[in-house]
Amino acid sequence: MQNPGYDGVTLRQIARRAGVDVALASYHFGKKLDLFQAVFERRAAFLNQARRDALHRCQAEAAEAGKAGPTLEQIIEAFLRPLELAQETGDTGWRHYLALIAYINNSPYWGPKMMSHLFDELVQEFIAALAKALPGARREDLYWCYHNLSGALTLTLAQTKRIDNLSGGLCRSADLQAAYDHMIPFVAAGFREVCASRR
């Protein structure tokens, strides 16, 4: 397997793969860091739009049905499933991109630098929806619950195959659908427990 992360790939490898000279990367993108950020930001907008659409869709459906808002499960599903669709296109670029999100979200170095300004606005919208589905919940409880959701998601996106070993092949990291099928009820129950018991 390829070495990990930012330092794991060299500009010369990238240039060779692209069939161009090394110095061209610097000419067109500036520093290696700028190229890295450009790569990360390129697909983020698409992903966020897919998630936003999914959230608004289930909110609209709830409104049509005369409900106050979507259920917890529907909101969490809107947060997770678009990531699955991105993978299902068969584009290996998306699989690598999801692993890149995991790498960045879990890093005390890259996380603060690259996650917040790209994803926090949408995350706040999701948290607002969750708050509406959990009336009376304390704000700090909502944030800690989101933290747990984000962590479970991040480990899933990282595709470490750890669960493959642990389960003797019964579960597979690559099976995003199974991961989400288990994550959605798990997380929803967690939100209900924490946000209900403390209000």
Partner DNA sequence: GTCTATACCGTGATAGAC
Partner DNA sequence: GTCTATCACGGTATAGAC
Residue ranges that bind its own copies, judged by CB under 8 A: 1-8, 99, 102-103, 105-112, 115-116, 120, 123-124, 127, 139-141, 143-156, 158-163, 165-167, 170-171, 178-179, 182-183, 185-194, 197
Q: Which is nearer to DNA, 10 or 124 (CB)?
A: 10
Q: Which of 3, 6, 4, 186 is nearest to 110 (CA)?
A: 6
**Interface residues toward DNA, by CB under 7 A:** 9-13, 20-24, 26-28, 30-33
Any idea what the Cα angle at residue 101 is, between residues 157 and 61, rounded to 5°? 75
Task: Supply the minimum distance, in Å, between the C-beta of residue 131 and its own copies.
Answer: 12
CA 143 to CA 28: how far, in whole Å?
Answer: 40
CA 4 to CA 8: how far, in whole Å?
Answer: 5
Max CA separation in the chain (angstroms): 60
Contact of residue 65 among DNA, its own copies, none (CB under 5-8 Å per partner type): none
Contact of residue 85 among its own copies, DNA, none (CB under 5-8 Å per partner type): none
Q: Which is nearer to its own copies, 133 or 145 (CB)?
A: 145
Q: Which is nearer to its own copies, 112 or 135 (CB)?
A: 112
Q: Which of 93, 123, 118, 90 is nearest to 104 (CA)?
A: 118
DSSP character at residue 67: -
